[in-house]
Amino acid sequence: MTPTRLVLASPRGYCAGVDRAVDTVERALDHFGAPVYVRKEIVHNWHVVQELADRGAVFVDSELDVPPGAVVVLSAHGVAPEVYENSRSRGLQVMDATCPLVTKVHVEAKRFAADGYTIVLIGHEGHEEVVGTMGEAPDAIRLIGTVEEIAELDIPDPERVAYITQTTLSVDETVEIIAALRERFPAIVGPKKDDICYATQNRQNAVKELAAEVDLVLVIGSRNSSNSNRLVDVTREMGVASYLIDDESSIEPAWLEGVDTVGITSGASAPESLVERVVDHFRELGATQVESHELVNENVHFSLPLELRRAVG
């Protein structure tokens, strides 16, 4: 038995921040020519990074690896203040592709720290977004990733505590942690508006609805994509089998045993071309029905970085 029906989650794939970041590298290559240097992965998707590298983008671990005076694009995940300082000292032409929603969290961190708060950052240690956010107020921020870690927090003044969150976490997971923080620190304050990215929330809500009508959910995204991993987690929490795949070559035949309907979604860093490849793969296996389950229609758009707009005129 092979799957006969495919249901595509909508919304899925690129969010406005990722679209802006990828477009920034492409436009920079068009205007300045190769090489254009990119600090870290512009977005967390192997296919996207490889395609840009083929066009002449050079990915580096640090701005210190960029030749003086060269063009460098900063990734969508945001960076610590020292990255800007290092870039200025090397005379780099910086194209800052930090997602505006990540910038919002950086602003909150600086504001809370300036007001004397100890800041609890809910996020995953080592993630580039978390590293950048912690760099805004390293002495004031405490990082946690689970409810259990709250008991270990060392807070000098329980009356001056604030929380912020990584933008790509599971909505349900974050709600639980924030509730536990409020229980331990009744005076804790948070951002005026939820830090969880609109696209992260929309994709999680969409996959929840999708999971209710399929036998299996495949999430297209790279291993280091936080929001893609959360889509798998959310689906499994609903009792539905789910796997993270880079593309159609990652699909294991054993996953499809006894499966008639497959749900397909993609993380915010995965291009639609990968969805099309997966759909074509299932059509070759014998799937005859392909339909879309639409939750909301996203129409968010972020302008290109100011530096790039000035450069291209």
Active site residues: 129
Query: Which amino acid does the sequence have at 181?
Result: L
ω into 305 cis (within 30 of 0): no
How far apart CA 228 and CA 245 sit, in angstroms, is 10
Instruction: Judge contact between 24 and 304, C-beta under 8 A.
Output: yes
Q: State how far the alpha carbon of 263 is from the alpha carbons of 41, 101, 190, 275, 299, in Å.
A: 28, 28, 35, 11, 23
The half-sphere exposure of 264 on its side-chain side, counting CA atoms within 13 A, is 28
Q: State how far the alpha carbon of 85 is from the alpha carbons of 58, 66, 100, 106, in Å.
A: 21, 14, 20, 16
Instruction: Judge contact between 71 and 28, C-beta under 8 A.
Output: yes
Six-digit token string for 182:
């409020």
User: 90: Cβ–Cβ under 8 A, 6 or more apart, which residues?
Assistant: 63, 64, 66, 68, 69
φ, ψ of residue 308 to 5 degrees: the values are -75, -40
